[in-house]
Amino acid sequence: MGGSSADIEALLVDITDPDDPTPGMLPAIFRNIVCRLDAASLTYAVLGRIALTLHEQARFVRNIEIDADLGTDGGERAAELVRETRTRFATHMESHLCKRPIGLTLRPCSYATETRLLGEALTRPWFGVPTRLASAEHLLWLWCRSEALDHAVNASALVAGGTVDLHRVQGLMRKTDDIEESGQQRLRLAIGEAVLSTMSSFSRHMAERRVGLDPNRVPIWRLQKAEAEDGER
N residues, the chain = 233
Q: Are residues 70 and 163 in the same domain?
A: no
Q: Are residues 63 and 161 in the same domain?
A: no
Beta bridge partners of 69: 43
Last residue of a domain, one of 134, 149, 173: 134
Predicted local distance difference test score (pLDDT) of residue 189: 87
Hey, how many other C-beta atoms are within 10 angstroms of the C-beta on 9? 16
Residue, of 87 and 192, whose pLDDT is higher: 87
Task: Give pLDDT tens digits for 166-218.
Answer: 999 988 888 776 555 788 888 888 888 888 776 655 555 455 555 555 666 66
Sheet holding 122-126, edge to edge: 103-108, 63-69, 43-46, 129-133, 122-126
Contact 96/70 with Cβ under 8 angstroms? no
- Residue 130: give the domain boundaries: 1-134
Q: How many domains does the chain have?
A: 2
Q: Are residues 126 and 18 in the same domain?
A: yes
The rounded distance, in Å, linking the Cα atoms of 190 and 3 is 26
* Least confident interval from 35-39, 41-45, 133-137, 203-207: 203-207
Q: Are residues 180 and 122 in the same domain?
A: no
The rounded distance, in Å, linking the Cα atoms of 165 and 137 is 6
Q: Please compute the mean of the pLDDT values over residues 57-77 and round it to a whole number.
A: 88
Predicted local distance difference test score (pLDDT) of residue 216: 66
Predicted local distance difference test score (pLDDT) of residue 177: 61
Average pLDDT over all residues of the chain: 83
Residue, of 141 and 177, whose pLDDT is higher: 141
Q: Are residues 128 and 51 in the same domain?
A: yes
Q: In sequence order, which residues have a C-beta less than 8 Å from that of residue 1 and are 6 or more positions away?
A: 8, 53, 54, 55, 56, 57, 58
Q: Please compute the mean of the pLDDT values over residues 118-144 and round it to a whole number.
A: 93
Q: Is 57 left (phi over 0), alpha (psi -120 to 50) or beta?
A: beta
If you average pLDDT over each of 37-41, 57-61, 71-75, 191-195, which comes out highest? 37-41
Q: Are residues 144 and 214 in the same domain?
A: yes
Last residue of a domain, one of 117, 134, 151: 134
Q: pLDDT band for 72, please (50, 70, 90 cuts).
A: confident
Q: Please compute the mean of the pLDDT values over residues 122-129 and round it to a whole number.
A: 91
Contact 9/27 with Cβ under 8 angstroms? yes
Hey, how many other C-beta atoms are within 10 angstroms of the C-beta on 65? 19
Q: Are residues 44 and 123 in the same domain?
A: yes
Q: Are residues 62 and 163 in the same domain?
A: no
Last residue of a domain, one of 134, 158, 185: 134
Predicted local distance difference test score (pLDDT) of residue 146: 87
- The torsion angles phi and psi of 149, rounded to 5 degrees, stand at -60, -45
Predicted local distance difference test score (pLDDT) of residue 194: 83
Whether the predicted pLDDT of 77 surpasses 70: yes
* Least confident interval from 33-37, 58-62, 153-157: 58-62
- The DSSP secondary structure of 135-200, one letter per residue, reads PHHHHHHHHTT---HHHHHHHHHHHHHT-S-HHHHHHHHHHH--STTHHHHHHHHHHHHHHHHHHH
Predicted local distance difference test score (pLDDT) of residue 233: 63
What letter would DSSP give residue 89? T
Q: Are residues 22 and 56 in the same domain?
A: yes
Predicted local distance difference test score (pLDDT) of residue 29: 95
Q: Please compute the mean of the pLDDT values over residues 25-41 and round it to a whole number.
A: 94
Q: pLDDT band for 47, please (50, 70, 90 cuts).
A: very high
Q: Are residues 35 and 67 in the same domain?
A: yes
Q: Are residues 97 and 160 in the same domain?
A: no
Q: Are residues 116 and 224 in the same domain?
A: no
Tell me how far the alpha carbon of residue 119 is from its chain's centroid: 18
Predicted local distance difference test score (pLDDT) of residue 206: 52
Within 13 Å of residue 45, how many CA atoms lie on the same side as its CB? 24
Contact 161/49 with Cβ under 8 angstroms? no
